[in-house]
Structure 1
Amino acid sequence: PICLLDTIGKVFEKVIATRLSAAIEAAGGLSPEQYGFRKGKSTLDAISKVVKTAEEACAGSRWRGGSKSYCLVVTLDIRNAFNSADWSRTLEALQRFNIPGYLQRIAPNTSMVGFADDVAIVVVAKHLAAAEELANAAVRAVESWLTVAGLDLAAQKTEAVLISSRKAVETASVQVGGTTIRSQRAIKYLGVLIDTRLSFKEHLEYVQRKASGTAGALSRMLLNTRGPKQATRKLLTSVVTSQILYAAPAWAKAAQVKTYMRGVEATYRLCALRIACSFRTVSDEAALVIAGQVPLRELIRERAEIHTAVPGRHPRGHGGRGAAGRQRPEPQEGTGAGRDSQPSDEAGTSADPKRGHGSVQQMPTRGYVPIEVEEATAPFAVQAGQAAG
């Protein structure tokens, strides 16, 4: 039966996880492209990197003789990873990292409580055929490593999207386990819908449907007469705000388009009305003031600025004290740091500058399979490793 661990068990779990992480980092650490279960990294970092790589590929003045390129994103999923994970492979990984013996002896006596298995392959190439060739080669490299590890890919869960700035919408094909996967107009990547134009129109429509369902359910409880107090209403409706603002720094540019924001702003307004115990005839501005809510576009802009100004820090909460309390670093004389300066990227967060035949970036977003494949005229170089969680 499913049950919760007691406090002592949770504390012991935290101690073991902390010591394992410290030992792995001391031995050289995991791949910088691995984001799952790592301190200081989140899904927002992975999403932002994919979006940034695609934006840089599509940037430029022209295709012929210019720097514009295709960006092909392929998301992979490991079939039945939770039940198929081999403990012997996990123990071998612990030995490769020279984990202390007492921690290795504890591992076989525990059970797997979490296994993140989402992998994304990002390919940048000047020509569509080259992008398909590189993506297929990267998928074969992943399949080869997984076969050795006793795992395989779920072809039915594999998705692809071809991002470009061409007027004509083109498609790409990728082979996964003998199955041909054709690129779609938009794919869901870690909860965010990425489309062929990076407009995020589909994502905002998806968020609006999801948030409006939650807001509608809450509205039936938060009546204008009687019901919970305002503090309780704010707490309950913050769920809707969190759904809307998830990964906001990655799609913040879409908030500048009024037609894209119309649906989510209507849902946000409904929450403000329920907090203020007001009727629908009340204006947006009055409802927000009475409810003590910050305008939605300001929250999105604030989160984007915080994420850009302070790399590695992620806004918490849904605005107000949670986000506004963070201060942007003041410019220092001689350093050039300030609002208009761009912070230096952390290791592994910049796009591959190679633009000739193409380039490949493998991004294990939440998995234990950090594999890196770099394309060049030389054969592929594959580095694989597995770590216990």
Structure 2
Amino acid sequence: MNPLKILIWNANGISRKAKDVELFAHNKKVDILLVTELRLKRGETVKIYGYAYYPAYRPSLNNNSVGGVAVFVRTTLRHFPQRVIETRHIQLSSVKVATGLGDLQFSAIYCSPSTRIEERHFTDIIRACGQRYLVGGDWNARHWLWGDTCNSPRGRELAEALSVTGAKILATGSPTRYPYVPSHTPSCIDFAVYHGIPDHLATITQSWDLDSDHLPLIISIETDSTHVNPSPRLVTKHTDLLAFSRQLESLISLNTTLNSGEEIEMAVDNLTESIHRAAAVSTSPVPRIGTTYGIVLTREARELLTQKRRLRRRAIRSQDPWDRLLWNRAAKQLRNVLRELRSNFFEQKLASMDYTVDAGYSLWKCTKSLKRQPFRQVPIRCPGGELAKNEEEQANCFANHLETRFTHFQFATTEQYQETLDSLETPLQMSLPIKPIRVEEIVEAIKSLPLKKSPGIDNVCNATLKALPVRAILYLALIYNAILRVQFFPKQWKMAAILMIHKPGKPEESPESYRPISLLSSLSKLWERLIANRLNDIMTERRILPDHQFGFRQGHSTVEQVHRLTKHILQAFDDKEYCNAVFIDMQQAFDRVWHDGLISKVKKLFPAPYYGVLKSYLEDRRFMVRVRNSYSIPRVMRAGVPQGSVLGPLLYSVFTADLPCPNAYHMADPRKALLATYADDIALLYSSNCCNEAARGLQEYLTTLAAWCKRWILKVNPQKTINPCFTLKTLSPVTAPIELEGVILDQPSQAKYLGITLDKRLTFGPHLKATTRRCYQRMQQLRWLLNRKSTMTLRAKRAVYVHCVAPIWLYGIQIWGIAAKSNYNRIQVLQNRAMRAITDCPYYVRGTTLHRDLNLHTVEEQISRHTSRYSDRLRRHHSILARRLLPARPLRRLKRKGFAKTLGQP
């Protein structure tokens, strides 16, 4: 049993000491760090490899870097953050850790020496910690109870609070702070207060390794700690695939009948259980490996560390300036040696990185970790106003929020509801059964599955599906065809595990600030792929989806849809017209789809057998929210298409297929209107010589759209719906306001649609500025790899730029390629700087030489290459709207470069 180690230390400013703390924590195998007096501004963070960071800042008017505490917890420990106190008097951060003694709360506390804290304040803080806790830090309180030579007023107040609460003291009994000023006396103000921990299990010692006027204290608690269990994969590199296939074939019997829903569910359970049993037998057990720290102290470093400890003790006790000088020299020499050790370690690591199989794709693993958004688990606020106290409460709070979200709105009238329900009761027409699923289809679909996908609750991932033997695939075909024949979808595949991902820039305590990510069964998604192919064939044959819908359709991309908008705007410019636009935001569109309305449209548009299958697929779907290793209580999804599924986007497109199109009722000339939809992203443009006339046409259409949304229980968000006007006029047009649900829409000078910013003059200047900013931010994230002193190979550094930075500005190059050279030249400057950082070349080396040696294309060459390929794709496109994007004649009035020139036409 490894004891749980806790560090208590007043850092007296941690910014320049983070690397020393990291090395100390890993070498001493410390599990929890209670660090006080960080002296960080709010928003500043400290990264210690292998530890999660939970701070509490001291409030100040000017956001000064004073006070503050933080708890660092090893990421492999199962823990959950607790309340935070941030006042001028006290800063406290708490984390609850699962141990062999039960849940134990660890808190870092710092009490400002310049303010008065009474006994009731200490009592309230200690009592709020629960029954089992350890609160450690800098109390700035002196008393003989914890080994000080005198009693201060705050020490007497704290001693009274400890007597009232029954808490115990864990201290070294000797001074923990040795002031730099010789006239000040040493004091014992760093210690821990605990309760619920047996006295014989906790010991405390002091160390002389870290530099500060406070000594670091190490507490050891003889108890086990609970570690986070990573989601195990059934088939790994340690699995004997041949043994797995043989074992699975011996467990599966094809002599079965599936004529009812219960039999289908039993077959699914049998297949899943057999896969688990076969994988357990054929996979070798792998011992758990904790977080490894690559830097190892050399003999020289250990000797210097010992020497620094000895000189520090002598300097503190003697208060001799000469002894302090020797201590500072030894500390500086040790810092230099440790800096050299870290530098050599990272140089060796960079030199060994590559993107090949032999290197284990180490380069891409590193770039992925650098690009990953930092995640800090924070307790969310429940509906009652209190914060979640553990993972189970957090999961259930999220589930309560999502259960409300997965419910359709109440907009339709009683007559409209009844009309939809009556349509579901009408008898089905006779139709041929659904084409059976062949084994060859399943095999081909499995081959195309991506490997790096998370499994659902059944833990059967795509790698497991690729290892299935023939008998298992035959058994899977029996289940799939039984679902089509019986028109029953098994309940095991209707359960989703939902992970909540924080949206950057949103309040961390609010459930609305998190994005749900659903994990569904891979067996279910494989069936959905096969059914989606059949549905797509029917939709193509019957022309169910409108031509203006480009979302989730084969051969359609966002570039073609944005091209339609920009071409319409440029045509308006050429005709000296205003182009008024509305970019419509559908509120929670995928999560609020009305099931009865969707099923009624499926019944109307598709053959009868698909109605029963898809009805069973949507009914009684459930979900559970997962927070680390804890799950919420299962909840029901009463609305919405399954997020993360294959059929979800397709069903949403079917549900919105009858979206109203602009016509003569709305506008004087509907030919000058353009409707563009990409899933739930809707844009409507209308050109006219009079901007108010264009506004009136858009207003009429929005009135029709609002009535359609009310009929099918969808909601448009007027706060996020915008109404820009595109024009080349030097004076901003005064357009009539457009209302939606009684709210006047904003009229910004630019709009962002499908990732491309369209300004009112269509110069793409704002888009290219924002894109360049994103590229510089990405290069800043990857500066560890792409700096001039990086020892990584030139080939690997070029690959990092090509695959991690260049795709950011290459997106939409077919569209913004018509921009003036002065606008896209900033992209060229970015690439030039990246090439010089990669090669570390002298200043006099020309950019053309770098492009040639690195085999990189200039921005102008990239525009020519991509637009040429794009033009060829448009000529072969099966959509008539995409083929019309090829300009029949160039715009003649405008002198600016148009699509005709970029697409290589005269």
User: TM-score normalised to the size of structure 2?
Assistant: 0.33
| Corresponding residue number in structure 2 for 1:40 | 555
Distance 1:11 1:305 in 2: 36
Counterpart of 2:818 in 1: which secondary structure? helix
User: Post-superposition shift, 1:279?
Assistant: 5.7
User: Post-superposition shift, 1:99?
Assistant: 4.0
Counterpart of 1:76 in 2: which secondary structure? strand
| Corresponding residue number in structure 1 for 2:179 | none
User: Post-superposition shift, 1:175?
Assistant: 1.1
Aligned pair in 2 of structure 1 residues 276, 183: CA closer, same or farther (>3 Å)? Answer: same
User: Post-superposition shift, 1:233?
Assistant: 2.5
Distance 2:839 2:732 in 1: 46
Q: What is the aligned counterpart of 1:243 among 808, 814, 822?
A: 808
One-letter amino acid of the structure 2 residue matched with residue 174 of structure 1: I
Aligned 8 A contact 1:249 1:303 in 2: yes
| Corresponding residue number in structure 2 for 1:15 | 530
| Corresponding residue number in structure 2 for 1:300 | 863
Q: What is the aligned counterpart of 1:176 among 725, 729, 740?
A: 740
User: Post-superposition shift, 1:313?
Assistant: 7.0
Aligned pair in 2 of structure 1 residues 215, 144: CA closer, same or farther (>3 Å)? Answer: same
Q: Which runs of 5+ in 2 are unaligned?
A: 1-394, 396-452, 466-521, 619-641, 650-678, 886-906
Q: How does 1:62-81 map to 2 (within 5 A)?
A: 67-81=575-589
| Corresponding residue number in structure 2 for 1:269 | 832
User: Post-superposition shift, 1:71?
Assistant: 0.7
Aligned pair in 2 of structure 1 residues 165, 4: CA closer, same or farther (>3 Å)? Answer: same
One-letter amino acid of the structure 1 residue matched with residue 590 of structure 2: F
Aligned 8 A contact 2:786 2:797 in 1: yes
One-letter amino acid of the structure 1 residue matched with residue 749 of structure 2: R
Distance 1:107 1:182 in 2: 40
User: Post-superposition shift, 1:271?
Assistant: 2.9
| Corresponding residue number in structure 2 for 1:98 | 606
One-letter amino acid of the structure 2 residue matched with residue 251 of structure 1: W
Q: How does 1:1-389 map to 2 (within 5 A)?
A: 3-4=454-455, 6-7=461-462, 8=465, 9=522, 10-59=525-574, 67-99=575-607, 101-102=609-610, 104-106=612-614, 108-109=616-617, 111-113=642-644, 114-115=648-649, 116-172=679-735, 173-237=737-801, 238-254=803-819, 256-258=820-822, 260-278=823-841, 282-311=845-874, 346-347=880-881, 350=884
When the two chains are superposed, the root-mean-square deviation of aligned CA atoms in Å is: 2.7
One-letter amino acid of the structure 2 residue matched with residue 206 of structure 1: A
User: Structure 1 vs Structure 2: percent identity of aligned residues?
Assistant: 19
Counterpart of 2:705 in 1: which secondary structure? helix
Distance 1:305 1:104 in 2: 47
Distance 2:685 2:610 in 1: 39
User: Post-superposition shift, 1:3?
Assistant: 4.3
Shifted more, 272-281 versus 84-93: the winner is: 272-281
Aligned 8 A contact 1:78 1:118 in 2: yes
Counterpart of 1:159 in 2: which secondary structure? coil
User: Post-superposition shift, 1:171?
Assistant: 4.3
Counterpart of 2:686 in 1: which secondary structure? strand
One-letter amino acid of the structure 2 residue matched with residue 52 of structure 1: K
Distance 1:122 1:142 in 2: 14
Counterpart of 2:555 in 1: which secondary structure? coil
Spell out, residue by residue over 1:328-368, the C-alpha distance to the aligned partner (whole angstroms, 9 max, x if none).
xxxxxxxxxxxxxxxx98247659xxxxxxxxxxxxxxxxx
User: Post-superposition shift, 1:214?
Assistant: 0.6
User: Post-superposition shift, 1:219?
Assistant: 2.4
| Corresponding residue number in structure 1 for 2:263 | none
User: TM-score normalised to the size of structure 1?
Assistant: 0.73
The answer to which structure, 1 or 2, has the higher relative contact order (CA under 8 A, 6+ apart) is 1
Counterpart of 1:232 in 2: which secondary structure? helix
User: Post-superposition shift, 1:166?
Assistant: 1.8
Counterpart of 2:731 in 1: which secondary structure? coil
User: Post-superposition shift, 1:122?
Assistant: 1.0
User: Post-superposition shift, 1:177?
Assistant: 1.6
Aligned pair in 2 of structure 1 residues 196, 179: CA closer, same or farther (>3 Å)? Answer: same
Distance 1:278 1:87 in 2: 62
Aligned pair in 2 of structure 1 residues 160, 130: CA closer, same or farther (>3 Å)? Answer: same
User: Post-superposition shift, 1:248?
Assistant: 1.1
Distance 2:847 2:608 in 1: 59
Aligned pair in 2 of structure 1 residues 103, 289: CA closer, same or farther (>3 Å)? Answer: farther
Aligned pair in 2 of structure 1 residues 347, 296: CA closer, same or farther (>3 Å)? Answer: closer
Counterpart of 2:865 in 1: which secondary structure? helix
One-letter amino acid of the structure 2 residue matched with residue 252 of structure 1: G
Aligned 8 A contact 1:160 1:181 in 2: yes
Aligned 8 A contact 1:175 1:181 in 2: yes
Q: Which runs of 5+ in 1 are unaligned?
A: 60-66, 315-343, 352-389
Counterpart of 2:857 in 1: which secondary structure? coil
Aligned pair in 2 of structure 1 residues 71, 226: CA closer, same or farther (>3 Å)? Answer: closer
Shifted more, 15-24 versus 109-118: the winner is: 109-118
